[in-house]
Amino acid sequence: MTDFVAVNEVGPRDGLQNQRVAVDLAGKLRLIDALVDAGLRSIEATSFVSPKAVPQMADADVLFPRLPARSTVAYSALVPNARGLERAAAAGVGEVALVLSATETMNRKNINLGLDQAVDVCVETLKSARALGIRTKAYLAVAFECPFEGPTPAERVMALGERMLEAGAGEIVVADTIGAAAPSAVAALFRRCMAAWRGTPVSAHFHDTRAMAIANAWAALEQGVRKFDASIGGLGGCPFAPGAAGNLATEDLVLMLEQCGYHTGVDVGRLRRAAAIAGELVGHPVGGRSSAWLAAQERRAAG
């Protein structure tokens, strides 16, 4: 039986949140429709953060109730704290994601809290979500390297993951937030995570700053990871990473997995159409590293 690998599409949230062009509600729904049509069944749709801090996500309360195919697609939303969780619950969100940066400085730069304070906020929010019957996952951001403090100690990542699990996180997502990891480091950290957190879903989130996202995905796959975040067309990128190229592109990930004999349930051709829509919405062409080859294949098929 072919191994199934789940792809969690984060383009509508992580991909759009830092775009300079404001994407309206109709545009977001059009993009999400195309992603669902491509076969994606796990999508991070939006975030319930302060509209002043992230204007692109200001329509979260209106967007979530209008999402298509809610009975067959597992939609999630990012929440930063109890207030965000309250809004998400009111909008009918069934799964929330929290992000905990693994270093003191990254937390202070990103959310103006120290590491200990950020841990406390995440713990309380996870407990509250669990009490509401809402599924949860916790991101461990800058798990490999911080733009301000350098390499992140693996022991700290493991300890923070344990804290999140104790608080009720149903899934841990290890994130290379600035795209600094290499496959050897990815293999080493995920080997520890998969051994320590048996029985708990462990996912991976990679950025392509140094052109290693797809290689890092393979390194995590070899350690047993079977769920990955990806962003249509490679949209996104950490604002703290100089020269950030964006997230691992969904079409690159799916192409690699399918060609290597894994099953994703996602159609690469339809992903290409979703990427074209994403490009229209943000005002410039987007696409993964496989885009030129995929385009050539399409031209050849068309005669």
Which residues are the active-site residues? 238
Q: How far apart are the first and last CA of the chain?
A: 35
Give the bridge partners for 6, in sequence order.
227
Per the CB < 8 A criterion, the answer to whether 78 and 99 are in contact is yes
Q: Which residue has the tokens 């309380």?
A: 124
114 token code pair: 């120290």
Instruction: Report the residue count for the chain.
Output: 303
The whole-angstrom separation of Cα 233 and Cα 231 is: 6
The string of DSSP letters for 222-265 reads HTT--EEEEBGGG----TTSTT---BPBHHHHHHHHHHTT-B--
Q: How many CB atoms lie within 10 A of CB 269?
A: 12
Give the bridge partners for 206, in sequence order.
176
Please report which residue ranges of the chain form alpha helices under DSSP H: 25-37, 60-63, 82-90, 104-111, 115-131, 154-166, 183-196, 213-222, 250-259, 268-282, 291-302
Residues 6+ apart with CB under 8 A from 72: 41
Nearest-10 crossing angle of helices 250-259, 268-282:
170
Per the CB < 8 A criterion, the answer to whether 154 and 190 are in contact is no
